[in-house]
Structure 1
Amino acid sequence: MEYAFIGLGNLGGHLAASCARAGFPLRVHDRDPAQRARLEGLGAVWADSPAQAVAGADAVITCLPSPAVSEAVLEQILPAMRQGADWIEMSTLGRDDILRLSERVQAAGMGALECPVTGGVHLAAQGKITVLVGGEAEIFARHRPALAVMGDRIFHMGPLGSAALIKVITNMLAFIHLVADGEALMLAKRGGLDLKTAWQAIAASSGSSFVHETEGQLILNGSYDVAFTMDLALKDLGFAMAFGREYGVPMDLAGLTNQTFVKGRAAYGGAAQSTQIVKLLEDVLGTDLRAEGFPARLE
């Protein structure tokens, strides 16, 4: 099956590379040509435009930074896609966005599948990220082989829109855990504990979390380099708050975390690493959270 892949940023570049390494015929495009040499070296074919990428493809995969960008790309590719082809959206979109855009795709005679991913860029690089799927079982089965080379855990959540909901839930939890981990590490530091040993003890305890075990290392290194921005965090938290209003669920912790990230963006900018949210506490207290032996990036 021949795929087009549009959106080769921090996440999409790794996902496309996994497809290319597995031998799927692949045409790729991004407005930034920085990934061109790498993907051509893996056997992918570079396209100069989204429309050129999708011409004749069995499916197009998009991995883009916002619903607005996804919609703009769809405007370009729908006229060029063949009848019966599928659109696989791996961006993190709101449920209303994925449903609205999927209706346009289906009205044009094509299938739609939402497949946001979770687990971090480092797992995408290893082909071990978690894939959350929403859409018809038949379309999912058609593309499961490609999804399986990008992620080692795949969950079919139900119809279109269901993957958007669970992805927002998982990201909301991650951001809450991140703020909590910063407070925990700061308490350890100000209490006179060795931070490396404290991190290890927490990781081996009932208080550990995926965020502590991964992003906590980047905080202690001081790089904060998780390849995920404040703007993206606030986008996902905004989706979570909207779901809370829709379903009548009080979102106390999510609301506090959202406001903390608003402060973080004001302090460091929307393009700052989301892990720099912990730096707010470091700066207020004049106390850094550095420790030896932690990586600048997750491998």
Structure 2
Amino acid sequence: MHYGYIGLGNLGANCAMCLLRAGFDVTVFDLYKDNAADLLAAGANWADSAADLAGKVDHVITCLPSPAVTAKVLAQTLPMMGEGATWIEMSTLGRDEVLAYAELAAGQGVRMLELPVTGGVHLAARGEITMLPGGDADLVELHMPALQAMGDLVFHMGPLGASSIIKVITNMLAFIHLKACSEALMLAKRGGLDLGQAWQAIRASSGNSFVHETEGALILNGSYDVAFNIDLALKDLGFALDFGREFGVPLDLAGMTEQTYVAAKAAYGGAAQSPMIAKLLEDLLDTDLRAPGFPDRLT
């Protein structure tokens, strides 16, 4: 298999590197060639454009920041892809967008596999991120070696569109957990507890969560640097609330959390790190949430 990988941000560059380490032939493209420096040093091939890449490889993987960017890239790649090629989309899209893009690809003889992931950039770097493919079972089987190279656990969620729902659910939960984690840490600090010890106690309790163990540590360090920004969080929460309206499910906590992120964007900008919703509380109460011994990045 010769894979082309388009979109070498925090997630994409790590996933492409995992493919290289597993022995796949990989050609890459990004608007910023510097993002590909480590990949090129490791043996990846460079394409001069998305269209150039699509014409050189067996299958194309994209990992892009927004549906609008996906549409632009797809317009360049589809005409150059060979009959029977697969387009593997790792970006977070709405279900309707997934189905519309799949129909567009089918018109060019290209099959689509949606592949959202969850777990964080630090797990992607280790090849241990969770993969949530959606699409035909034979496509999942065909690309299973690549999926297992990039990820640890692989859950085939069903037909196209199913994975977009579960991805939004997992992200929605993460953002809600982050808001709860921020409030819990502030309660501990204002209650006079040692924050490091409080973090350890929560981790060993029934109140623990993946977010507490990971992003909670970054809050206590003060870096907040989870490599995922506020604009992306708002995009995903918007998808969740849309599904809530469509399926008739009241999402009270998601709605409250979205408003917290709106306030964080107003305070710090959309490019700020998503755990900075904790800083809103720190600034409001003039109380920092710092403890020694916590990392500035997850590894």
Asked whether the two chains share a fold, i.e. TM above 0.5, the reply is: yes
TM-score (norm 1): 0.99
Say if 2:278 is the partner of 1:273: no
Instruction: Work out whether residues 13 and 36 of structure 2, in 8 Å CA contact, stay in contact via their aligned partners in 1.
Output: no
Moved more, 264-273 or 35-44: 35-44
Displacement after TM superposition at 1:35 (Å): 2.4
Name the SS of the counterpart of 1:168 in structure 2. helix
Displacement after TM superposition at 1:56 (Å): 3.5
Displacement after TM superposition at 1:23 (Å): 1.1
CA distance in 1, matches of 2:115, 2:51: 21
Q: Equivalent residue for 1:214? A: 214
**Which amino acid in the other structure matches residue 297 of structure 2?**
R
Which string of whole-angstrom CA distances, capped at 9 and with x for unpartnered residues, describes residues 45-92 of structure 1?
A: 011100111114211000000001001000001111111100000011
Moved more, 40-49 or 185-194: 40-49
CA distance in 1, matches of 2:55, 2:143: 18
Which string of whole-angstrom CA distances, capped at 9 and with x for unpartnered residues, describes residues 86-139 of structure 1?
A: 000001111111111111011111110000000000000000000001000011
Q: Equivalent residue for 1:47? A: 47
Q: Equivalent residue for 1:9? A: 9
Instruction: Work out whether residues 8 and 63 of structure 1, in 8 Å CA contact, stay in contact via their aligned partners in 2.
Output: yes
Which string of whole-angstrom CA distances, capped at 9 and with x for unpartnered residues, describes residues 126-184 of structure 1?
A: 00000001000011111010010100100000000000000000000000000000000
Q: Equivalent residue for 2:79? A: 79
**Which amino acid in the other structure matches residue 65 of structure 2?**
P
CA distance in 2, matches of 1:37, 1:254: 38
CA distance in 1, matches of 2:99, 2:180: 33
Any stretches of 5+ residues in structure 1 without a counterpart? none
Q: Equivalent residue for 1:150? A: 150
CA distance in 2, matches of 1:102, 1:280: 40
Q: Equivalent residue for 2:169? A: 169
Moved more, 134-143 or 30-39: 30-39
CA distance in 2, matches of 1:150, 1:113: 15
Q: Equivalent residue for 1:160? A: 160
Q: Equivalent residue for 1:247? A: 247
Displacement after TM superposition at 1:260 (Å): 0.7
Q: Equivalent residue for 2:27? A: 27
CA distance in 2, matches of 1:228, 1:37: 21
CA distance in 2, matches of 1:275, 1:107: 41
Q: Equivalent residue for 1:199? A: 199
CA distance in 2, matches of 1:228, 1:243: 22
**Which amino acid in the other structure matches residue 208 of structure 1?**
N
Show the 5 A alignment for 1:84-163.
84-163=84-163
Displacement after TM superposition at 1:265 (Å): 0.5
Name the SS of the counterpart of 1:256 in structure 2. helix
Displacement after TM superposition at 1:198 (Å): 0.1
Q: What is the root-mean-square deviation of aligned Cα atoms in Å?
A: 0.6
Name the SS of the counterpart of 1:113 in structure 2. strand
CA distance in 1, matches of 2:219, 2:143: 37
Name the SS of the counterpart of 1:87 in structure 2. strand
Identity over aligned residues, as a percent? 66
Name the SS of the counterpart of 1:157 in structure 2. coil
**Which amino acid in the other structure matches residue 204 of structure 1?**
A
**Which amino acid in the other structure matches residue 35 of structure 2?**
Q
Displacement after TM superposition at 1:36 (Å): 2.5
Runs of at least 4 residues off by over 4 Å: none
CA distance in 2, matches of 1:37, 1:273: 24
Name the SS of the counterpart of 2:52 in structure 1. helix
- The alignment of Structure 1 onto Structure 2 pairs a total of residues equal to 299
